[in-house]
Amino acid sequence: MTYTLLLGGARSGKSALAEEMAKARREEVVFVATATAEDDEMAERITLHRRGRPASWATVEEPSDLAAALGRVDADAFVVLDCLTLWVSNLCAEGLDDDTVLRRGDELARLLARRPGSGVVVSNEVGSGIVPVDDLARRYRDLLGRVNIGFATHAERTLLVVAGKTLELR
């Protein structure tokens, strides 16, 4: 899959841009969501996101086994994968060690790059802030940063999204 990686901070416009890119496509669109409703506020966010997507789009909700989820998607469909940020968090919550998370990230990035269809992958850029004070937050920041590097390596394009505006990264 020829995919674009969208990186940016929280509420930077990444997901909105991913949806705009998908709406411009002629082929089938499949939205792969990694969020889980762990509390009422997150459940409400998920509901709002579902309502905002076109009814013609298929939605696959999968918090951790994205390779299997993509295996069930038509190979030529345009895939919106939103987002790696929560996916890495979900894998950590399952108790996976760093090497396993990184291996899964690399395998998923390679799988997406080999698909005939194209798509867009969303993730938060977490390397621009302060160094987290505790080891769990540092571990998460480091893991997501390394997963993002792997996805950027295999992406056709990588865009940094800030306030709804993009900057292409080389």
Task: DSSP letter for 63, please.
Answer: S
CA distance 30 to 70: 9
Across-strand partners of 161? 8, 166
- pLDDT at position 1 is 62
Q: Choosing from 9, 13, 49, 111, which is the catalytic residue?
A: 49
Is position 154 annotated as part of the catalytic site? no
CA distance 30 to 78: 6
Cβ distance 83 to 9 under 8 Å?
no
Say which CATH number the domain at 131 has.
Answer: 3.40.50.300
Split into its structural domains, the chain has a count of: 1
Query: What does the pLDDT look like over 28-73, one tens digit per residue?
Result: 999 999 998 888 998 898 888 888 899 999 999 999 999 999 999 9
Residue ranges of the chain with per-residue pLDDT less than 70: 1
What is the pairing mode between strands 78-82 and 119-124? parallel
Q: Supply the range of the domain harboring residue 98.
A: 3-169
- pLDDT at position 119 is 97
Helix (H) or strand (E) holding 139: helix 135-154
- Please give the share of the chain, as a percent, with pLDDT higher than 90: 84
Q: Torsion-angle region of residue 107: left (phi > 0), alpha (psi -120 to 50) or beta?
A: alpha
Cβ distance 5 to 80 under 8 Å?
no
CA 11, 16, 21, 27 torsion-angle sign: positive
- pLDDT at position 55 is 92
Has this prediction a pTM greater than 0.75?
Answer: yes
